[in-house]
Amino acid sequence: MNKVDYWRELAEYDMETAKVMLDSKRYVYVGFMCHQAIEKALKAYYVKVKNELPPYTHSLILLVTKTGIYGEITEEKKGFISFLDPLNVATRYPATISKLLNILTPEVCKNLIQQTERELQWIIAKL
């Protein structure tokens, strides 16, 4: 399997995992898995355009910049990336989990899944 497909498949798997987390009411992990899905899709795109391994980072903003697609994305997409970006790190610390539980309500998580799926498909279409 080539590296682009490797990262794409991981992204799709993480997207499905986010849905399972929603169904099981593990809302903090919905945010985490949505972040992971977009991160891995961006890494697939990075490999495609740069023909090299992606950087060791979890920063979606950095990945969007390094892939060269920052200029292509709408303000809505930029806002989505900005919202999603800290969810990877925030889930790792107990003090922030309680704050996230107030933010990542069932309704927010449903919308997050829908928006992540849209953005994931947009990135995958570029592969």
pLDDT digits (tens, 9 = 90+) for 85-124: 999 876 677 778 888 889 999 999 999 999 999 999 999 9
From residue 13, how far is each of 30, 35, 70, 109 by CA, in Å? 13, 12, 25, 17
Q: What is the pTM of this model?
A: 0.95
Site of tokens 């979890």: 58
pLDDT digits (tens, 9 = 90+) for 14-64: 999 999 999 999 999 999 999 999 999 999 999 999 999 999 999 999 999
User: In this structure, what token pair is assigned to residue 38?
Assistant: 């977009």
pLDDT at 127 over 80: yes
Contact criterion met (CB below 8 Å) for 108 and 30:
no
Q: What does the CA dihedral 105, 107, 113, 114 come to, rounded to 10 degrees? A: -160
Return the CATH architecture of domain 3-125. Answer: Up-down Bundle (1.20)
